[in-house]
Amino acid sequence: MVATSITAAAAPIIAKAFAEIYEAGKQKFQSHLNVLSSRRAAENLYKKIATVEKVKTIWQIDKPVNFRRFYYPSSVLINDEKIRLDSLEQLASDENYVLQGTIGQGKSTFLRYLCIKELEKGDRFPLFIELRRLSKDMTLRQIMKTNLESLGITKVSDQLVEFLAQTGKMVLLLDAFDEIQPDKNQEVLNEIEWLIENYPEMQIIVTSRPGSGIEHSARFSILRLAPLAPTDHEGFLKKILTDKTDRENLLESISKSTNAIKTLITTPLMLTLLVLAYRSENVIPRQVSEFYESLFLTLISRHDKTKPGYTRHRYTELGDKQLQILFEAFCFSCKSRGLGVIDSDQLYEIVEKAGEFTNIKCTDEAFKNEMTKVACLMIEEGKKLYFIHKSVQEYYTAMFIKRSAEPFAQSIYDKLLTKTRQDWQQELSFLKQIDQYRYDKYFATKGIQEFFDFVQLDGTKELKKLNKKTIEKICQHIEVFFPDSKPHSERAITSMIRWGTDGIPYFLLQLSSTVSSFLLSHLMEIKYEEISANCNLEEPGMIGLRLKKLFGNAQFMEKFRPYLEERIREYSKDLIEKRLFVAQEETRAKDLVLF
């Protein structure tokens, strides 16, 4: 059911909610709020908000489509129980939430769905904002004003935003916190927390991948999106694969596939890529890297395959493989600059740089047309270019590093170890699969050894028991915070890890990050009086302590020490196995040379 077909039925409900806002604010803001003052105005406003239904996806890349055509209901995990979430009514209205999901789990589509359901309900009007559109010089409040003006509310001022936020009639939906430029991340988080503190009447829902930083904010409860289960496959495939025979053949192939492939297809993106690959090659890829490896050539040629005798107009004279290699260099150049959104001025410079990397030349205009009109891996909106999905940029950035000569690749791995950049996590995950030898040699073994050197342990020997001094060394950068208003509620506990701290090994920070789940489970067992007595850190609206201040608590350490020891044994096992793999690969290479 599309938005325009329900406008008439929903208008009385919507008009009532908007009329309440208009009545409350007309004395001060009448001329600004005329868009809310009548049923016809409400219908027009509804249609503008409902444009969030139109999206471009990897599956439907030529033009925007209504997401309801392919939306499969999302569920969240609450106390490890899978619960279908159909509207914000199911959540506490006085809480703010982070909807957290992994790569391709459908977070943005889910938030759009909740936006439309909120609009249909009519009690509040949803303000949907894509955070990737935040430029370096733009604040969250400024983009809120811009979005409100795009809905027809005129001359939006700070005072008007404050009024709308205080009415309790607006819900703020912020999509993709993880796509904010890294150097702007903390600034935006501070602004979100300021809005929460000053306008508690306005609920805020944010989507993000794990590890973006917002999950450490004590202002939010975390709702994790549930992965797709095998029982979801048929229902999901009905949405995108209308031919029953094709669907049954694919489901049969999935049922016969290995456990490795079954564990991959737990997100809408992976299942969609599986369909694309299967329709193109009639085989199921075995690894996530194979999905993306086939994606470029599948997309760039699929129009020709589906229309006999038809060849799509091309904008360069480059072959498909040349264009892919240039695109990989383009992705790397964007990532190195911290760009997920590219404006027209930056495009020329980045295409030129990609051409220098690869010795493949074409104009920026021709490259843009190939990517937006042929491969359709990018979208052009106004004077800006966006990747169709963040993972596209991440995978092809990793592919560029994989194809690079040894000295260049080694220098990249070295820089990623030294700078401990959290925003390269997904690229490293891809490289672990597609560039295993160099990843293990220049990144993993080196990084894990740096960890053991730092904590003064021998990673090649079996660990028996950690002493207190070593535990303190490992946990020295972990801080635990609580909102000062609700210091001992489960949702209030958060840990803060300082990524990018100079001199701290990458794998130590990564280990510290995994401690968060343990803290959430076990800090509640400590009496609040003991915790509050040790609090000597402050953040706006929060109190905190360094984790090591709790090491005197025998009950806590009885559980924390074995947990930490097990994580370190895993590092030790990884170090030994990766060194062995590197040695075997180098021996094999020598044997081939001798042969």
Domain extent listing, the chain: 56-225, 230-286, 320-411, 435-595
pLDDT digit string (tens) for 72-82? 999 998 877 89
Question: Hey, what are 546's tokens?
Answer: 């360094």
CATH fold of 320-411: Arc Repressor Mutant, subunit A (1.10.10)
DSSP per residue, 200-269: TTS-EEEEE-TTSSGGG-TT-EEEEEPPPPHHHHHHHHHHH---HHHHHHHHHHHHHS-HHHHHH--SHH
Provide the pLDDT confidence category of residue 488 given band limits of 50, 70 and 90: very low
d(CA 484, CA 505): 32
More confident residue, 290 or 184: 184
Q: What pTM does this model have?
A: 0.72
Helix (H, G, I), strand (E, B) or coil at 558: helix
Would you put residue 26 in left (φ > 0), alpha (ψ -120 to 50) or beta?
alpha
pLDDT digit string (tens) for 42-98? 677 777 777 888 887 766 666 778 888 888 999 998 877 899 999 999 998 889 999
CATH fold of 56-225: Rossmann fold (3.40.50)
- How is the beta sheet containing 384-387 ordered, strand by strand? 341-343, 384-387, 378-381
Tell me what percent of the chain is helix, strand and coil, each rounded to the nearest 5.
60, 10, 30
Q: Residues with Cβ < 8 Å from 121, sequence gap 6 or more?
A: 13, 87, 89
DSSP per residue, 381-393: ETTEEEESSHHHH
Whether 56-225 shares its CATH topology with 320-411 is answered: no
Residue 581's alpha-carbon distances to 76, 89, 268, 445, 459, in angstroms, are 39, 52, 33, 11, 16
Q: Quick one: how many helices (H) and strands (E) in the chain?
A: 23, 16
pLDDT digit string (tens) for 166-222? 888 889 999 999 888 877 888 899 899 999 989 999 999 999 988 788 887 878 888
Q: Specify the pLDDT at position 261.
A: 72
Q: Residue 39: is its pLDDT beyond 90?
A: no
Q: Specify the pLDDT at position 557.
A: 84
- How is the beta sheet containing 542-546 ordered, strand by strand? 494-497, 478-483, 542-546, 537-539
Q: Residue 276: is its pLDDT beyond 70?
A: yes
Residue 551's alpha-carbon distances to 527, 541, 545, 558, in angstroms, are 14, 25, 12, 10
